[in-house]
Amino acid sequence: TRARIDGLCALQKTEWRRRAMEKTLTPGALAVLVFDGEGNRIIAKYYRGFCKSKSDQTKFEQKLFKKTKNNNVTRTDADVIMLDNVVCIFRCGGDSRFYIIGSSDENEIILNTVLDGLYMALHSLLRGQMESRNLLDNLETVMLAVDELIDGGVLLEIDPQNIVNRVLMRDDSAPPITDMSMSQAIATAKDQLFKSMGTNSDSTWG
């Protein structure tokens, strides 16, 4: 009947509004980027339709690096800029730069916490060797850490040790990472990568 159809349509509209509100209220990110000291991409993951095309991504990354390459950011501090109406939080590690990109209305404190979680997790996984060459040599580990941090733009985990444990396929009660050799850690990370390949179509890397 007409009344039943109208009722179903009203319910559907309510559900759409609810999902839209949840998406708006849920903290998230538009991109995770890691560059070397020359601004070349080490890893780049884009979410929620931000910079859909390769050319848009390249233009944004070039503009972002140009605007941040001379910023005096220490290894323990993060900085923030606005670029193309998005928030960009970044910090240095060796000759590398790590970025979290969020919408203009995203909470900067949350984005900074997300960046810290990723940085500290990689710092543990890579034994503090955050230079771009080492990141490239351990690209699988970097990718897995990002996947444990964010999925489709939604924040999954920000605690560094939890990210480390998940990358190494260990539960949260397992001994610290120092109990496992780096060769064992990388082998474990690679196994996880092969199992998860092809599951994230938004991912691109250098």
Separation CA 29–CA 149 (nearest Å): 10
Q: Are residues 140 and 190 in contact, defined by beta-carbon separation less than 8 angstroms?
A: yes
pLDDT of residue 200: 45
Give the pLDDT score at 50: 95
Q: How far apart are CA 201 and CA 94, in angstroms?
A: 30
What is the separation of C-alpha 127 from the centre of its chain, rounded to a whole number of angstroms?
Answer: 20
pLDDT value for 3: 60
Angle, helix 160-167 to helix 108-125, in steps of 10 degrees: 50
Q: Closest Cα to residue 143, out of 80, 79, 101, 202?
A: 202
Map tokens 């990210």 to a residue: 163
User: For every one of its 206 residues, what pLDDT tens digit does the chain have, with 9 covering 90 and above?
Assistant: 656 555 555 666 555 454 544 444 567 899 999 999 899 999 999 999 999 999 999 999 999 999 998 876 555 678 899 999 999 999 988 889 999 999 998 888 999 999 999 999 999 999 989 999 999 999 999 999 999 999 999 999 889 999 999 998 744 444 454 444 445 545 555 555 555 444 444 555 55
Q: Which stretches does DSSP call E strand in 148-202?
A: 150-151, 154-155
Positive or negative CA dihedral for 167, 171, 175, 179?
A: negative
User: What are the structure tokens assigned to 204, written together?
Assistant: 């691109």
The pLDDT assigned to 5 comes to 56
